Structure 1
């Protein structure tokens, strides 16, 4: 298993809010990895840090953004996100894939729009972002639909479905095999995939245990297109993840 601690914060603003707050917490993240690593399942402790001040927000690991337009029905955001642990250390692969070159994480800058529809606040979220570190030189775009469902006064759950587009550069960088890498592997041809997509379904939500303490949770199942699943670097075409944690929240 990777000897790494993921700095990850699960935080969803299902409704429009001008509240200023800080959240700190701890939880756990469990997943079946899409890559053909020696360890099929991974578990990480999850420190949580989040800040919202007026139209600015920060979420660990490293996403910061600015809501340049927002009202009760629509919010538009410009953001930057450093995608920690998007890449891989080739030592985590099974033999002979350990001879692959490592892949680095990338930094994306993008735009996100979130629209809340009707009295149930059916939520549509779309985004587009691009790598600005010249690591993958890739582009991502996606659309998610979520339906918040209140369970009493303290708990909110939201089933969701989303589809994400991964550009050819992005897919090739993280799932391709170069000519030089192929020469180091046994009976392995180079692999240069085209653009790909991922469809995810799941549920996310939170429960306010007290005014300051909240339980957050999510579960997600991902299905990748053949451009990803046909790569020798991957283990099948799907994976899943579970996330849970406790946060302490205080306003200012």
Structure 2
């Protein structure tokens, strides 16, 4: 959740945006992250985790938890930035009988470049990311459009949609089954058996939709939320370990501003 982008949304005029960029934005908070992975045997049971977070923004640098962004160029009103992010996608082979013997799949750190352009209330964004931590060893491309609804000051609501391109290495790492991992008559733990055939993941286009909302409760407190649903194509759902055609996630958090727009010293609320 890029909380600093919500703060930028509250600055509507070019003068306000430039003033915002000169400020130091520092927020801390606590959130609940909810992930629902599409693997068979998880029975639509989401993973719910409490997540402490922080957001720091000064000039062209933004830090948000394990993620970092540095804006380095702005030609023709198109903003370019270098990006680093942690991919929160993983499974443990103990999570489901269908995953037993596959080994664990881990999240990873990715770096890349992002370009975005704002047209009134519409923001267009494209980015390319690649794995630098040696987990999936692949890359992802993304195109996204976000629309600002509301006044952007007390309440910000932003529906979004787009498409991801996942390279073959990404798809195979998270959804593939190597020949040596194939199993016949694999017990499911429910008195039934299944065949886990070998599956080589292929590159795939994954459309997604979602929304972000931010409610400013006071000068320092804000409530933020995000939901996202990705719609998996056949290149992924044909995998024997995948049991759903959607991958969903949600985030809700309460933040406290230590510095930023409208925050004055000695004013805790």
Whether TM exceeds 0.5 here: the answer is yes
Q: Secondary structure at the match of 1:88?
A: coil
Please say if 1:121 is aligned against 2:121: yes
Gaps of 5+ in 1: 1-8
Normalised to the residue count of structure 1, the TM-score between the two structures is 0.86
Normalised to the residue count of structure 2, the TM-score between the two structures is 0.81
What's the Cα RMSD here? 2.2
Q: Which moved more, 1:108-117 or 1:34-43?
A: 34-43
Runs (4+) of structure 1 exceeding 6 A deviation are none
Structure 1 residue aligned with 2:112: 110
Q: Secondary structure at the match of 1:99?
A: coil
Structure 2 residue aligned with 1:11: 3
Query: CA distance change for structure 1 residues 208 and 199 in 2, over 3 Å: closer, same or farther?
Result: same
Please give the alpha-carbon distance, in whole angstroms, between the structure 2 residues aligned to 1:131 and 1:217.
27
Q: Quick check: which one's helix share is greater?
A: 2
Indicate which of 51, 67, 74 corresponds to 2:71: 67
- The answer on whether the counterparts of 1:21 and 1:251 sit within 8 Å (CA) in structure 2 is yes
Please give the alpha-carbon distance, in whole angstroms, between the structure 1 residues aligned to 2:143 and 2:34.
24
Structure 2 residue aligned with 1:162: 162
Residues matched between the structures, number? 239
Offset, 1:153: 3.9
Q: Secondary structure at the match of 2:211?
A: strand
Please give the alpha-carbon distance, in whole angstroms, between the structure 2 residues aligned to 1:106 and 1:153.
35
Alignment of 1:61-210 (within 5 A): 62-70=66-74, 73-83=77-87, 85-93=88-96, 95-117=97-119, 120-151=120-151, 153-182=153-182, 186=186, 187-210=195-218
Q: Secondary structure at the match of 2:3?
A: coil
Structure 2 residue aligned with 1:49: 54
Query: CA distance change for structure 1 residues 104 and 28 in 2, over 3 Å: closer, same or farther?
Result: closer
Please give the alpha-carbon distance, in whole angstroms, between the structure 2 residues aligned to 1:152 and 1:141.
28
Gaps of 5+ in 2: 10-16, 187-194, 261-269
Structure number, greater radius of gyration: 2
